[in-house]
Chain A
Amino acid sequence: MPSPLKIAPTFASAYRTGPIPRRFFLGVVNAAVQFATQMLAITIVFNQTESLGGWSREDLIVLVGVHAIVSGILGMIFSPSISSFLESIRLGTFDFLLTKPVDAQLLASVQSVAPQSTVDGGGSGHYWLWSGTAGAGFGLVVLMFILLLLAGLCMVYSFMLVLASMAFWFVKLDNIMNIFNVMFGNAGTWPITIFPAWLRGMLTFIIPIAFAVTIPAQALTGALTVGNVALTFALAAVFLTASRFFWRFAIRQYTGASA
């Protein structure tokens, strides 16, 4: 008996099947629709205002571009892998993974790859052109951006891993990644600074969208503070360590799929 709940994960895995070139083609179509959607959204908002909580039109395009890069990387490796992992818990095939002589966390995190998602990341080039900031600054700024982006990715990855580890207790969890995608897709395309404090806290520490998107984008728009940089690297370390511990604790709960 399907309903959106059941379909979404199956759909997601179906999406990964099929001939790779066709997937790329669809990836391009999806990325194009996504790009058009976001540019239109920004246009509509900036028809009404010149600044959204201190962010200019160009800044926002940079932010959306960063978001595209991050979703591309997440969608290419972590999302499909974590989905496969959740499915393998449900089907009991996680046993096979555990018997391999490789760190199970690593294997679970990178076990499947959706190459078409590179289109999302690669396509973000458009955003740079549109934002008019391309070529504005290179060198240290870009290096800082890349480092912050990596730190942000570590945090999002840790968050996904913790979510996925819940599957050791609650077997039916296939949809949690879709929910993550909805949250990340909606909240991540806007600067964290416009949200009211309570929501900002959630989007910063619970679902680390702020660190994955807003702060790296600030590196490019020049709104970065030293405190934020330090906080980002420190938290990335904390998140990674904590998620590692949580994973090892959770894996002890694994009983195999008895059903």
Chain B
Amino acid sequence: MSSSTPDFSKPSPRALLQFYRGQFAAALGFNLAYRGMVALWVLGSVMQPLVLIVVWQTVSEGRDTGMTAGQYAAYFMVSMVVSHMTFIWHMWEFEWRIRSGYFSPLLLRPVHPIHHDICENLSYKFVGLVGIIPAAVLMALIFGADFSGASWRSLIAFAPALLLAMALRFVIEWCLALAAFWMTKVASLNQLFDAFFLFLGGQFAPLGVMPEWIQTLSFALPFRWSIYFPIQVALGNITGADLWIGYGMQPSDRSGRGRVATDVEARGLPTTAVERSHACLHR
């Protein structure tokens, strides 16, 4: 056998790129192999916006809530797309990984485990789009979505807003999922988080129809910036200076937490990895 020892002390973009390509392909393979399951999952993500369109269109019948029926349809349709694209399930997953010992192989590699998770997450989103996009189109047609505010400019502005939202939500929830190394029931935290997205993020209703206190609070928290902001950008409701303020809010909310991620990892996240599951065995 031959040998040439690679130098792991220097980051190698080439190797990382290769890794991403391979891992992404693997994750894609998985999601395609289980496309039936992806389809069911997508069906699940269609349900909430679908129900909410009905609810809010009913509310707006013969009453002025500040938005028309068509605008509600458009809002929840885009909300579905944004929610799908920003979805991350690692609070559940980490709990499972630690319990089942699945973390060990990931921690044995000389690559940070977040890269693996990014690939998995992205591939799920892309495969899911195959279902989400037709569902969105159908939803828009059936419920008469009104996109009069949207334009090619708002669509262009939407792209960075969505990407930043994806990164923001991924980093925050991935870091919170790390709590699984200390706590056993992170999934409960996840439930609370879902509720925050529902109200502070604007998944339940456009923030404009929410009570004042929710609107005010939402400015200071990341949920608005990962769901509501991109939706409104896409619909052409946020332009000019507000747009740039929003772009600014997205990464600033993230960077602080991003630092936590790398710190925690460097200081000892993986070292505690199997301990919990192991401690259970020794009980």
Contacts and interface: CB of A to CB of B under 8 A. Distances in A.
Q: Do A and B truly interact?
A: yes
Interface of A: 1-8, 10-11, 14-15, 18, 22, 26, 29-30, 33-34, 36-37, 40-41, 43-45, 47-49, 52-53, 170, 172, 175-176, 178-179, 182-183, 186-187, 190, 194-196, 199
Contact of A179 (B44, B60, B102, B195): B44
A2 B102 contact: yes
Given A3-B30, A37-B198, A29 B188 contact: yes
A175 B97 contact: no
A43 B30 CA distance: 42
Interface in B82-129: 87, 89, 92-93, 95-97, 99-100, 102, 120, 124
A52 B55 contact: yes
Given A43-B211, A52-B58, A182-B47, 14 more contacts: A1-B27, A3-B30, A4-B41, A5-B31, A5-B41, A11-B92, A15-B187, A36-B195, A47-B209, A52-B55, A183-B44, A186-B47, A194-B58, A196-B54
A30 B204 CA distance: 19
B192 interface: yes
Given A7-B92, A37-B198, A48-B63, A2 B44 contact: no
12 contacts: A1-B27, A3-B34, A3-B89, A4-B93, A7-B92, A43-B211, A44-B199, A45-B55, A49-B65, A172-B37, A179-B43, A194-B58
A5 B37 contact: yes
Contacts of A175: 37, 40-41
A190 B56 CA distance: 11
> Shortest 10 CB-CB distances between A and B: which pairs?
A182-B44, A5-B37, A4-B89, A1-B30, A186-B47, A194-B58, A179-B40, A48-B65, A186-B51, A37-B195
Given A2-B102, A49-B59, A179-B43, A7 B96 contact: yes
A33 B58 CA distance: 26
Given A33-B191, A52-B58, A195-B54, A2 B36 contact: no
Given A4-B41, A175-B41, A48 B195 contact: no
B59 A45 contact: yes
B180 to A, nearest CB: 12
Nearest to A182: B44
A20 B192 CA distance: 21
B211 A44 contact: yes
Interface string B248-270: 00000000000000000000000
Nearest to A29: B188
B38 interface: yes
B210 interface: yes
Contacts of B48: 182, 186
A4 B59 contact: no
A4 B92 contact: yes
Count chain A CB atoms within 10 A of each CB in B43, B60, B89 and give the residue with the most.
Answer: B89
A4 B62 CA distance: 41
Contacts of A8: 92
A53 B47 contact: no
Contacts of A186: 47-48, 50-51
Interface in B193-225: 195, 198-199, 204-205, 209-211
A218 B96 CA distance: 41
A2 B209 CA distance: 38
Nearest to B94: A7
Contacts of B95: 11, 14
Contacts of B36: 170, 172
A178 B195 contact: no
A33 B185 CA distance: 15
Contact of A14 (B40, B89, B96, B204): B96
B204 A178 contact: no
B188 A190 contact: no
A2 B199 CA distance: 29
A37 B197 CA distance: 11
B24 to A, nearest CB: 12
